Amino acid sequence: MADRQRTGGWSGAIAKLPRWLWSCLAGGSWKLALGRLLLAAAVFGLGALLFVSAGLVPVAASQGHWPITRVLLHFAMRRSVRTHALAVKPPPAEDQLLDTEAMVLKGAGHYAGGCLACHGAPGHPRAEVMLHSVPQPPYLPPKIAEWNDRELFWIVRHGIKYTAMPAWPTQQRDDEVRAMVAFLRRLPGMTPARFRQLAYGGATPGVDGSRVAGAIPSTRATPAPSTLADCARCHGVDGEGRGGAVPRLAGQREAYLLESLRAYARGDRHSGIMQPVAAALDDAAMAALARHYAGLDIRPAAPVDAHPDAAAIERGARLATRGDAAGRVPACVACHDTGTGPGTADRNPHYPLLAGQHPDYLRLQLTLFNSGTRGGSAYAPIMHTVAGSLEPGDIRDLSAFFASRPTAPKTPER
């Protein structure tokens, strides 16, 4: 009997609760109302804290999101990307590399190593494990049209919090992010064969020895076939840089190649593309790779007079051999060979050969040195001083000149 009375009393009180709450909150002066509002917020906050501390927030990926959570999170993500992307600056006017085949190829190379497992690609399904994550990384080709270039740039550069979508490995290389955007733009409608050609140079991953030979480790003398196959995706089997998308390594100085790989691995030389590659190598593998590429024969560069911009080459030659009259730019030949002539073997082995290197790559590196974003070995600060006062025109002409130089006969490393 007493029990029933108590329950009746409870249900009566509960029924009156909303009216009581309302009168508590809204009655009295505005100061009292504000105080009560703050109290209510504090009680709510405490409740939420208790809910979280008690471990009641559902985080199981196996359960997925409630539909309402999924819609809200997606809406928030899209709105955030669209708003933040408004601040993305267009590429500098002198950057004519945008959307060229070389940019697309460079983006594709990184996509195969850094994005494919999560997002898949034409002819390549997403990795099975990623299909069980929440949110699931989408298969990208049909998604690209939903974003403009700035938005894609923002997503690739910054990544998306609370999802597995990572930021670009370095925040210093907008040019690399633009290469990825150029590739993503071409992704819708791309055939599997075209993707394979771009990302793997036509080889089939796993069939070219990359998986099968994975068990054979590098020694200081020989790189592991699987590692070499991965480098070849971007630098070409011959180390010539696949037509200029990435630097030519063939015939480069061994000490310079080794120090460059170490600099990428340490994060001293910034590249979202090369840093993850180098960080996965141990010192023996780096040494073997440096030796391998230094020992490859170099293909002769195109003869000077066949080059379309002879005037630029002429100006570049003057600047490289004599520096400029005002003493603003030192003569490059004090440290870099022009490809022929005496003194070729006497340079510091840490100073790279530039003769026959791809002009767009030289231009990019000089631009990066000029803005202070190109790190490197302990010798790199020399180049910051050298390049600090170069004008865009100087950079173009110097790059054209060194690229046009015939490559020197190989000399033994000391």
Binding flag, residue 166, ligand HEC (CB under 6 A): yes
Site stretch for ligand HEC (CB under 6 A), options 15-23, 93-101, 148-156, 200-208: 148-156
Binding flag, residue 233, ligand HEC (CB under 6 A): yes
Those residues whose C-beta lies under 8 Å from the C-beta of residue 254, and which sit 6 or more positions away, are: 290, 291, 294, 349, 413
Those residues whose C-beta lies under 8 Å from the C-beta of residue 317, and which sit 6 or more positions away, are: 401
Give the residue, chosen from 126, 150, 178, 235, that forms a contact with ligand HEC under the rule CB under 6 A.
235
Calculate the alpha carbon distances from 33 to 27, 41, 47, 378 in Å. Answer: 7, 12, 21, 66
Q: Which of residues 357-376 bind ligand HEC (CB under 6 A)?
A: 362, 365-366, 376
Q: Which of residues 28-57 bind ligand HEC (CB under 6 A)?
A: none
| CA 9 centroid distance within chain | 67
- Tell me the C-alpha distance between 170 and 27, whole Å: 57
Contact code string over 239-278 relative to ligand HEC, x by CB under 6 A: -------xx-x--x----x-xxx---------x-xx--x-
Contact code string over 181-210 relative to ligand HEC, x by CB under 6 A: ------------------------------
Calculate the dihedral angle through the C-alpha atoms of 388, 391, 393, 394, rounding to the nearest 10 degrees: -40
**Token pair recorded at residue 377:** 């070995």
Q: Which of residues 378-397 bind ligand HEC (CB under 6 A)?
A: 379-380, 382-383, 386
Give the residue, chosen from 182, 187, 329, 403, that forms a contact with ligand HEC under the rule CB under 6 A.
329
Measuring CA to CA, which residue among 365, 387, 386, 367 is closest to residue 376?
A: 365
- Tell me the C-alpha distance between 34 and 183, whole Å: 55
Give the residue, chosen from 3, 30, 55, 146, that forms a contact with ligand HEC under the rule CB under 6 A.
146
Q: Please give the DSSP secondary-structure letter assigned to residue 228.
A: H
- Tell me the C-alpha distance between 286 and 273, whole Å: 16
Binding flag, residue 355, ligand HEC (CB under 6 A): no
Those residues whose C-beta lies under 8 Å from the C-beta of residue 195, and which sit 6 or more positions away, are: 108, 121, 122, 123, 124
Give the residue, chosen from 398, 400, 403, 408, that forms a contact with ligand HEC under the rule CB under 6 A.
398
Is the Cβ–Cβ distance between 230 and 214 less than 8 Å?
no
| Residue nearer to ligand HEC on the CB measure, 156 or 312 | 156
Q: Where along the sequence are the contacts to ligand HEC (CB under 6 A)?
A: 77, 106, 109-110, 113-115, 118-119, 130, 135, 137-138, 140, 143, 146, 152, 155-156, 160, 163-166, 180, 227, 230-231, 233-235, 246-247, 249, 252, 257, 259-261, 271, 273-274, 277, 281, 289, 320, 329-330, 332, 334-336, 350-352, 354, 362, 365-366, 376-377, 379-380, 382-383, 386, 398
